């Protein structure tokens, strides 16, 4: 059972270009989360999605950032017109049940290995 798969692992973009980060959740998981880790900081929540639905995007910047989790295929985090401040590690996580349930309900959240975005 493969874990949470993210690609690309490393991405370099010039200012103004678009970045697309992909995340395939663990098999059987239909809940996906994106987190961002800025240099020397902890992870910050960005968005929580279920298949075809954005449930909570309270951590997403208002502009240039979007996320989707289509019925078929991976979840995509899209950053348009990237700027230097977007340089960070972007982590995807997935869980089998909704966000309300925790490990005692068998709902452990698993993280991918991250996608490191560098904007030059």
Site for another protein, rule CB under 8 A: 4, 6, 31, 33, 35, 40-45, 48, 56, 91, 95, 99-105, 107-114, 116
Nearest approach, Cβ of residue 35 and another protein (Å): 8
17 or 59: whose CB is closer to another protein? Answer: 59
13 or 36: whose CB is closer to another protein? Answer: 36
Dihedrals phi, psi of 104, to nearest 5 degrees: -65, -20
The token duo for 83 is 């700027």
**To which residue do tokens 């904007």 refer?**
119
In 3D space, the residue among 58, 109, 57, 65 whose CA is nearest the CA of residue 83 turns out to be 65
């Amino acid at each position: 059972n493969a874990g949470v798969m993210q690609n690309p692992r490393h991405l370099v973009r010039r200012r103004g270009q678009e970045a697309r980060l992909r995340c395939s959740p663990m098999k059987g998981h239909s809940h996906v989360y994106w987190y961002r880790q800025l240099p020397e900081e902890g992870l910050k929540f960005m968005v929580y999605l279920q298949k075809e639905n954005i449930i909570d995007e309270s951590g997403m910047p208002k502009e240039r950032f979007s996320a989707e989790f289509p019925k078929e295929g991976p979840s995509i985090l899209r950053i348009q017109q990237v700027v230097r401040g977007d340089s960070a590690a972007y982590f995807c996580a997935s869980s089998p049940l909704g966000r309300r349930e925790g490990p005692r309900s068998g709902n452990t959240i698993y993280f991918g290995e991250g996608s490191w975005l560098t904007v030059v």
